[in-house]
Amino acid sequence: MPPVEPASGDGAGPDGAGHAIETDGLAKRFGHRMAVDGIDLAVPRGSVFGFLGPNGSGKTTTIRMLLGLASADQGRIKVLGKDMPRNLADVLPGVGALVEGPGFYPFLSGAANLMRLDAADRHATSSTRRPRVEAALERVGLGHAAGKKVRAYSLGMKQRLGLANALLRPRELLVLDEPTNGLDPQGTREVRGLVRSLAAGGTTVFVSSHLLAEVEQMCTHVGVMSAGRLVAQGPLQELRSAGQAQVQVETPDAEQAVRVLSGLGLLPTRAPGRVLGTGLDGVEPEAIVAALVREGVRVRGFSVENASLEDRYVSLTGEGFDVAG
């Protein structure tokens, strides 16, 4: 299936000014394998963009190319309106990133690690370093552990510290690879709230995740990768609505119900105590119920369920999804 184009309401102009990230034919090969196969990515400014796909689908390789950590074999990349990697030095100060897990000095405290990382940033102001570090730690819920050595941090605390590092300075774009990895439910909720607040302040957040529930609650837009290709992208609601709605008929007369649904052009399947049907294609639910009753089918329950993001994901990639984490 070709990618779903961003809706006109995303504000993307002809020059890509409405996109925080834009790629054209981006490709990367490892030996005989195409890790990323000519993708055209469009991430609207101000969006929370969920980047989804099975392991090995090309998500991390794409992120590494966007940030200049890996070179593309072909294609064009624009980040914050500038060509990459040619403008890497100008673009990266406006980008915060947490990719492939945070790495810190275990013998230093969380605050000392951030102080050292900020000192290595030539764009950072030394006079505001300490208050910025303190504010970033408080923002991710690590103010109480600022003086604790990182070797005593849990995985979730290290993940929070990585987020704090990405937030040491105001950013136009945040690129987060599995930001809730290792977090407990409370920490996950806090990160979700943090991402929303950043987006409300105008920051674009690009989130690579395998947790479907988090994506549905956090993201405004979604892109789905499968075998190196971008198989769909666009607003979350648009992606959901592109899936097939399903009729559910609760009845003891399954055989007759299957005949009626087939006669209306639906594709019925039997399940215990009910019959499911897809392919409504404009058939009104009221007409389905009327046809069932007219043919003597005892209808004990009837519903039409819209496709979920999980259904759409499975139909696009052919793989299941970790819903609960």
Are 232 and 169 within one domain?
A: yes
In whole angstroms, give the CA distance from residue 153 to residue 194: 21
User: Kind and range of the H or E element at 267?
Assistant: strand 267-271
Are 229 and 256 within one domain?
A: no
Are 91 and 49 within one domain?
A: yes
CATH code of residue 105 = 3.40.50.300
For 5, phi then psi, to 5°, come to -70, 145
- Pair of tokens at residue 193: 């709230």
CB proximity list for 19: less than 8 A, separation 6 or greater = 12, 42, 43, 44, 45, 78, 81
Q: Which residues of 178-189 are buried (b: 16+ CB within 10 A; e: fewer)?
A: bbbbebeeebbe
User: Kind and range of the H or E element at 191?
Assistant: helix 185-200
- Minimal CA–CA distance to 50: which of 208, 213, 231? 208
- Pair of tokens at residue 322: 């970790």
- Reported as a pLDDT band with limits 50, 70 and 90, residue 242 is low
Instruction: Quote the domain boundaries for residue 273.
Output: 246-305
Determine, yes or no, domain membership for 298: yes
Determine, yes or no, domain membership for 321: no
Are 236 and 296 within one domain?
A: no
In whole angstroms, give the CA distance from residue 96 to residue 94: 7
CATH code of residue 286 = 3.30.70
Domain boundary among 197, 226, 241: 241
**295 within 8 A of 256, measured Cβ to Cβ:** yes
In whole angstroms, give the CA distance from residue 64 to residue 35: 12
Determine, yes or no, domain membership for 316: no
pLDDT at residue number 121: 86
Give the pLDDT confidence of 50-82 residue by residue, as tens digits.
999 888 889 999 999 999 999 999 999 999 999
More confident residue, 304 or 261: 261
- Reported as a pLDDT band with limits 50, 70 and 90, residue 1 is very low
Are 200 and 295 within one domain?
A: no
Are 294 and 197 within one domain?
A: no
Q: What pTM does this model have?
A: 0.74
Give the pLDDT confidence of 122-162 residue by residue, as tens digits.
888 899 999 999 999 998 889 999 999 999 998 888 888 98
Are 203 and 251 within one domain?
A: no
If you search the block for the tokens 């492939």, which residue do you land on? 100
List the end-to-end C-alpha distance of the chain, in Å, as a whole number. Answer: 27
Determine, yes or no, domain membership for 284: yes
pLDDT at residue number 322: 47
More confident residue, 17 or 185: 185
- Minimal CA–CA distance to 194: which of 174, 224, 169? 174
Determine, yes or no, domain membership for 325: no
Q: How many domains does the chain have?
A: 2
Give the pLDDT confidence of 275-304 residue by residue, as tens digits.
988 777 778 889 999 999 999 999 999 988
Mean pLDDT of 5-17: 40
Are 170 and 281 within one domain?
A: no
Determine, yes or no, domain membership for 322: no
Are 217 and 90 within one domain?
A: yes
Domain boundary among 194, 215, 241: 241
- Minimal CA–CA distance to 312: which of 247, 248, 249, 233? 233
